[in-house]
Structure 1
Amino acid sequence: MVPNVVTNLDNEQLVFALDIGTRTVIGIVGKYENEVFKILACEIEEHDKRNMYDGQIHDINGVVQIVKRVKERLEEKLNMELDKVAIAAAGRALRTERVRLDREIDSTREIDRKLVESLEMEAIQKAQQVLDESTNIESKYYCVGYTVVNYYLDNNFIENPEGHRGSKLGVDLLATFLPHIVVDSLYTVMSRVGLEVINMTLEPIAAINVAIKKNLRLLNLALIDIGAGTSDIAITKDGTIVAYAMASVAGDEITEAIAKTYLLDFDSAEKLKISLNKQQNHKFHDVVGIEHNLTTEEILNSIQENIKKLAKEISDSILKYNEKAPSAIFLIGGGGQIPRLSEYIAEYLELPKERVVVRSSDIIEKIDDIPEELNGPHAITPIGIGVTAVKDMYKDFLEVTVNGQKIKLFNSKDIKVSDALVLVGYNPRNLIPKRGEDFIYFVNEQKLRIRGEIGKPSEIYVNNQISNLEQKLKNGDIVQVKEATVGKKPNPRLFDCINMKEYITFNGEKVYLIKQVKVNGDVVSENIPIKEYDKIQVNKIKTVSEVFDALNINPDSYMIYKNEELIYKDEITAKEINDYKENTKSAENNSLTKTIRLNINGEDKVIEHNEDKFLFIKIFDYLDFDLSKPKGMLYLKVNGAKAEYTQVLKDGDKIEIYWKKDRKFS
């Protein structure tokens, strides 16, 4: 037993842990020495009214009074003032949403990590929106963890989209949330009783920390904390907690069944329920004064269906989030002691009975001086809160500033910049640079375009140092994000649209091929600005006769040969006699110096370009084909075979590009 007064203690060495439950408030003060947690004092007090529902504070003042009394009694036992506390948020407040999100992307650019992460952020925000709509509560949520289930590129599953190209990127994501109100109300209570929160965790995490050793978490295990209003479930696998779940039924369901069966008030029914696993015979009077003298078996038989219903709902919740029966199940909490419950859970999950067991505080390792009132499954969570605080003090909850806004982050994993941006509602699309609008113009009736510029990527700073979305955050970090920009729309001049320097050499003399240029019907010779949709007409030297005219020489002075055969000067083009032609391709000049002949969707097309190799992806620069508005599955073929974006095209290739409608677009 704990002595009434403990003296000669250093406040800095103590840990004050509070478990604020639906039915009771449990306070524990302990000290960590030589890797052993020694309990120095504890207090348990029941709520005198319904201050809490399902683990959430509803009457702050009512909870303040209970916590204040627990704190004062502990201070009296310890003969010292308590000013710091460790607390836990109820696992039952967690919500999980699974969403699928698809985004149209620039098919000419490789997918990088920033694009993937921004898509994940947007999916988390969509999950939060779904959660808000389903709860109809105007409350913000912390995202305390998420898992990517699958990625999709152009509607096809892909393991890792980085480095690929496509027109649509998708993600299937499972996100878990904790309401702000849960954290804020707990902090309000602590502040009103003069306590500083030094550590905050989740109740399921605190319970697992002492009920299931870390080296066992490689196994697929389920921990079920059966309280008064709900049953919280935490599932472990591969060394970590992989899911949280909740069954909306718990111990009160059995209490109500007893009350209705035997005409008892709620408090009397609760006492009878608690005594079912302590004694065999029960004598009591109902509300009309009739005396009952029953055995435990008789009472259990009368409420058997209610216990089975509780077991089934808990089992269904486990299967929903684990997709199969776990290897073993541990029951904690006051409701975990309900007779027959463990047997029925094992039956529903088709597990051996010995695989579903009730965990009591006596199984906790490296704990000394556990008082009698803390013997039992109900004490695992408050002891776990204290032990967790010792090991992770100041680690589970941190505060950072994002673009001037201070936020609290629940540190249930390595918190990154992306997590902070999700919490403040930052639009992830602002992280990705956008290409400016294309510039459209016409040359000799052929529609051409100059691609818009790519904007400047976003810049992320942590504590004034350039960083990224993957940067892990510490308490007090300052995050600043500069949005990505939209690229400029091209503003070309005439010589950016046509190659005025194209020439041949004839007997060592340059002959420029362009004879005349008209813009919208007017002859021009200067490098004038071009407006979008302007029509440019280019008249070029085509025959040898025109070459002679340009050089002002007598054509009769020359004999023209091709492949050592004499031919007439008008039977050959100027390009066929070219013995040198300068390649004027440059990044600043979108000159068109080469041609390729293709059959595209049954229509013969001649495309002028300036590429060393004409790749399939370049077709979209010369086609009026809108990739931004999908109309089904996109099919791309070259000579009847599936096309690759980087495939090199040749003269005469037959190209097919079309949408094939599916159910989504039908």
Structure 2
Amino acid sequence: MIKGVKFSDRKLYGPEAVTPFGIAVTAQMYAGKDFLSVTVNDKKVKLFNSKKLTISDALIIYGFDAENLIGRSGRSIACTVNGEERRFRGEFGKAAEIWLDGKPASLDTALSFGNNITVVPAQNGRDASVKAHELIPDYCSSSVILNGNPVDTSTIILVNGAQVSADTEIKDGDIVQYSRIKTLGDLLEAAGFTETECEITVNGMKDCGYDYLLKDRDVVTCAERSERSTYSMTGITGQVGEDKAEADTDADDEAGTESDDGIGTEAGAVPETGISSGPDEWFDVTVNGKTVSLKRSHGRHMFVDVFNYIDFDLTKPQGTIELRLNGKPAAFTDLIDEGDEIEISWRK
């Protein structure tokens, strides 16, 4: 007997009683359950119980944003470093986490009455981030002493033609160039010295070659080879004295001789020539067809120094900068000389 059900007709026996009883039992079991009630992130949700329901059905009724189910990867950065293409990918996103009654589940997991659903939204990956010094494998911040004067030998970084600090954030499409004084030869070349002109010591040692790798706070001295010049002049003066002694055997020993115009000079003295031995203070180069004068310094000028003398704004890029020196592609750190032909332009 089914509780609460009365039947006043004749009793049913055998197979004819199975169908009515089955319908009655089913109706009793699902009485009041036309809707399925579940909890989504602590909020009650009712679904029409007309099919096999899954977590995805519950999230639709809840109003969960589908974009919060799959995390997007962060944006990448593409740049050029000393002519080489480099790419840095953004961080991968993290997919949403779905839990059913405290256990991992998926969107297709079937639901039953009273289930508790928890969804942790997806997380997007962070955009790529790279600083200028991170692009340089041997970035260095250092200095040396050259003839008593400090010289910065740190890595020089240019982004889109402008010098920047090591912590500058690189942006997509940036053009990065870097260089630095690494060896003793690099230092002497930048300063305008040559091995034949100078006697070179590093920290008091004379056996350091041009390939010596400079260290922070090294003390470099470049002294002119005055001994060689003095020796040569002494030899020349001595030879002149011997020849004159042979020619004037009957003359008395005198400190000086009289010249053709009657003006006396001391023996061994070097006559004045009237020619200045110092270099001109300025020299000229041609920049985009116009003559530009650069002030001479103890060291040779680099290409980048030209921007201190011309009106060319590197802080507002109008494309990719193109540098040419005497008709050939150039870099900001190339050395320039008097009479060089320089071309600077933006390529769009």
For Structure 1 versus Structure 2, the TM-score category normalised by the shorter chain is 0.3 to 0.5
Larger radius of gyration between Structure 1 and Structure 2: 2
Compare the two structures and name the one with the higher helix fraction. Answer: 1
Please report the TM-score for the alignment, with normalisation by the length of structure 2: 0.39
Compare the two structures and name the one with the higher strand fraction. Answer: 1
Please report the TM-score for the alignment, with normalisation by the length of structure 1: 0.23
